[in-house]
Amino acid sequence: MTKQDPKLWKTSKLVSFLEEASLAYRNGSPIIDDDTYDHIFLAELQRRDPEHSFLKKIEEEPDFGTGRLKHSEPMLSIEKSYSVEETQKWVNRVLKEANKQAIDKDGIRVIATAKLDGLAAVYREDGLLATRGDGTHGNDITSCFDKGVVNIAEGIPGVGELVMTTDYFEKNLKQLGYAHPRNICVGVVNSDEVNEDFIEALKDGAVRFVPYSTMDRWEGSFDNLIENHEQIQQQVLESCQYPTDGVVVEITHGLLKTQLGSTSHHHRWQIALKQRSATKQTTIIDIVWQTKRTGRVTPVLEVESIELSGANVSRVTAHHAGNVKALQLGKGAVISVERSGEVIPKIVDVLKTASSIQIAKTCSSCGQDLSWQRDFLVCTNHSSCPAQMENTLEHFFKIHGQVDGFGSKSIEKLVAGGIDTLEKIYSSNEDDFINVGFGPGQSKNLRRELDRSISVDTEDWRFLGAFGIPQLGRGDSRRLLQHFSIADLAKITQEEIMEIEGFAEISSADIIQGLSKRWSTIHNMLGLGFNLIETPLISEAAAVESPISGMRVVFSGKMISGSRSEMKKNAQALGAQVQSSVSSKTDMLICGEKVGPTKIAKAEKLGIRIIKEEDYNLLLK
């Protein structure tokens, strides 16, 4: 067993870590591999408290801030098996119920399909695509089809996943630094403007919604399943062209499925077969401590190079300083390593501890003494630590998404030259950029991009999310700005945030603290006159009297009487909710020139009012 033994933890700490790890995975940034999560941490909670409420919860997908849809049937998690013995126990439970119902064992067939490692979703009868969400409600992500996601369902409703073909990812995107195809699917869904790296993938049809009903499958009896347990898994996985996370096995007998039913967590008539990844041992050479945007200092293990799952591995994550201490890591320690999901190297076990534990005492970026906050080391020099400045600036430009040229190397050069805040960057001219080492042409481009980022249309929730305030990602920023304008956030209280659905006491406190620390910068940036598309306030939309007040509208095509962004702003001012794509909740589609036939056909199918731009203008008058 790994020395990172959760048996030493209190239950509250164990559950908190499980929640953090689950959320990180769903957001596309895993902090621990799947097997360690299941076998070590989750298994300890199951042993200690099998009735704990966490074990009954659905593994939630992230909230993408789009419309909420209720599922006609709950989208549950799946019970897991890591051995033929565990699968046999599941078979025994199914057969026990079959005996009760006098159902002949020979009449029960089993099918096995690959368990896709993507973004779980369901294609509905009304033509909408919804994420799993919390299992009862999900986000409407139908707009991903307009962006280029291929719908393999071809109009057939069913549960499936958003995935990218493995070959395409390996050939075109892995070398750009993306860790896993799932992250790309999340990125496509979670942004109004698609990342340039993903545009070609969408054009090439490599990002798809794949229903499980369309996939290749194995079919046989319970005896076949147990006798050929490993071979069946291998056969199913080799036939799949997408990233996988095991094999789903389920019975096909309708009456027995009904009798078996479900728990609040999973269906009793299906199970996921999973295997541990291949592991190898290696020796730690050194520990490198990296300071992140928030000041947290995380350890990366430099190890003797090993070949693992077709890749050379020389660096392994150790997650946090508490891990280094608990596992007694340092130079000379021997560890067993695996590539989680065939991508991220993780520690599986510690075979030999270090003679001396290596824990950083000062920040490698600024030299500040580090302090402990739970299991993390933290550099509290937030205002002048170069690493924190660089990561904060990089986060802003990445989330804002409208400024080219401000990558990690450029930001590193700016910070080294003393241009180390957003205020300084946006007030710099071409000469200032030349003085810190940029060429004349690049300096001109940087200034031009900054000016463009101010004038181009930018959603206010994206602008707010770019400041990296804890608990305020893009989805939560949008939810907050539905109740308060961005200017009002200077005087908002924790209690007011807690009144909004989805914000609890701890997250609300974190937001207040984060806003307090960053408000000077936010205020300064607002003063530059960014062209922000304001999120309609729910309270104002209900109060405005106009022909479109309270209606959900979509603008499509080239507009004559003004730009589309201007018309959207005007519609919002008149109390309408402007949507990015047509859905069953849309009330009106306003058409300019050259509207795509697909969008019109969808509106006609859903019975949505379709109106030309000139008729829309007459309606407003």
List pLDDT tens digits, range 345-395.
778 889 999 999 989 999 999 999 999 988 889 999 988 899 999 999 998
Which CATH number does the domain housing residue 449 bear? 1.10.150
d(CA 172, CA 182): 15
Answer positive or negative: Cα dihedral of 435, 439, 443, 444.
Answer: positive
For residue 62, being part of any structural domain is answered with no
Residues 471 and 486 in one domain: yes
Residue from 201, 117, 192, 197 nearest 160 by CA: 117
Task: Give pLDDT, residue 250.
Answer: 95
> Which of residues 57 and 171 earns the better pLDDT score?
171
Please list the alpha-helical segments (H only) found in 466-504.
Answer: 474-481, 494-498
Q: 322 lies in a domain?
A: yes
For residue 496, what are the contacts with CB-CB under 8 A and spacing of at least 6? 484
> Is residue 43 over pLDDT 80?
no
Do residues 500 and 546 share a domain?
Answer: no
- Give, in order, the Cα–Cα distances in Å from 301 to each of 234, 304, 549: 33, 10, 57
Check which CATH number belongs to the domain holding 348 and give it. 2.40.50.140
Provide the β-strand partners of residue 137.
70
pLDDT digits (tens, 9 = 90+) for 401-439: 778 889 888 999 999 999 999 999 999 999 999 999 999
CA angle in degrees (0–180, nearest 5) for 410-411-416: 100
- Asked if residue 307 has pLDDT above 90, the reply is no
Catalytic site residues? Answer: 115
Q: Which of 239, 259, 236 is nearest to 249 (CA)?
A: 236
Q: Based on the domain organization, do 213 and 87 belong to the same domain?
A: yes
Residue 75 contacts residue 58 (beta carbons within 8 Å): yes
At residue 310, the pLDDT reads 60
Output DSSP code: residue 593: B
184: its two tokens: 């790309």
Instruction: Assess if residue 251 is contained within a domain.
Output: yes
Same-domain pairing of 451 and 462: no
User: Residue 155: CA atoms inside 13 Å, Cβ hemisphere, count?
Assistant: 2
φ, ψ of residue 577 to 5 degrees: the values are -100, 115
pLDDT of residue 506: 82
Q: What tokens appear for 82 in the block?
A: 């890591």
Is residue 72 scored above 90 in pLDDT?
no
Query: Of 273, 288, 308, which marks where a domain is finished?
Result: 273
The pLDDT score that the predictor gives to residue 1 is: 37
One-letter identity of residue 229: H
What pLDDT is attached to residue 279?
81
Is the domain of 295 the same as that of 168?
A: no
pLDDT at 2 over 70: no
Greater confidence, 607 or 21? 607
Q: How large is the average pLDDT for residues 75-85?
A: 86
Residue holding tokens 């995107």?
173
**CA nearest neighbour of 321 among 376, 261, 382:** 376
Comparing CA positions, the residue from 376, 242, 338 lying closest to residue 33 is 338
The tokens for 144 are 């991903």
> Does 195 share its domain with 96?
yes
CATH code for the domain of 475:
1.10.150.20
Whether 197 and 328 share a structural domain: no
Within a domain: residue 484? yes
Please tell me whether residues 204 and 258 are part of one structural domain: yes
Residue 21 near residue 31, CB atoms below 8 Å: yes
CATH at residue 137: 3.30.470.30
| Residue 63 maps to a domain | no
The answer to whether 465 and 399 are in contact (CB under 8 A) is yes
Mean pLDDT, residues 474-499 = 88
Separation CA 25–CA 589 (nearest Å): 37
Mean pLDDT of the chain: 85
> Would the pTM of this model clear 0.75, i.e. be above it?
no
Q: How far apart are CA 174 and CA 162, in angstroms?
A: 18
Residue with tokens 């704990």: 52
Whether residues 123 and 171 share a domain: the answer is yes
Confidence of residue 5 (pLDDT cuts 50, 70, 90): low
Same domain for 449 and 462? Answer: no
Question: What per-residue confidence (pLDDT) applies to 58?
Answer: 59
Return the pLDDT at 189. 84
- Whether 110 is covered by a domain: the verdict is yes
Going from the C-alpha of 69 to that of each of 23, 75, 145, 223, 602, the distances in angstroms are 21, 12, 17, 41, 18
Q: Which residue has the higher pLDDT, 55 or 222?
A: 222
Closest C-alpha to 464, from 455, 452, 476: 476
Maximum C-alpha span of the chain? 85
- 163-187: pLDDT as tens digits: 999 888 888 887 676 767 888 888 8
Residue 127: inside a domain, yes or no?
A: yes
* pLDDT attached to residue 528: 93
Q: Are 187 and 198 in contact (CB under 8 A)?
A: yes
Whether the per-residue pLDDT at 520 is higher than 90: the answer is: yes
Instruction: Record the tokens describing residue 114, joined without a space.
Output: 């690959």
Boundary residue ending a domain (533, 553, 585): 533
Q: Which residue has the higher pLDDT, 220 or 2?
A: 220
Looking at residue 63, its pLDDT comes to 59
Per-residue model confidence as pLDDT tens digits over 315-343: 898 888 988 998 999 999 999 987 654 45
Question: CA 313 → CA 159, 301, 308, distances in Å?
Answer: 36, 11, 7
Residue 1 lies in a domain: no
What is the pLDDT, as a whole number, of residue 342? 45
Domain stop point among 273, 308, 338: 273
The answer on pLDDT for 3 being more than 50 is no
What's the total number of domains in the chain? 6
- Assign 180 to helix, strand or coil: coil
Q: Residue with structure tokens 């006491």?
A: 505
209 and 236: one domain? yes
Per-residue confidence (pLDDT) for residue 200, from 0 to 100: 82
Same domain, 190 and 131: yes
- Check which CATH number belongs to the domain holding 614 and give it: 3.40.50.10190
Domain containing 199 equals 68-273
Question: Residue 60 gets which letter from DSSP?
Answer: P
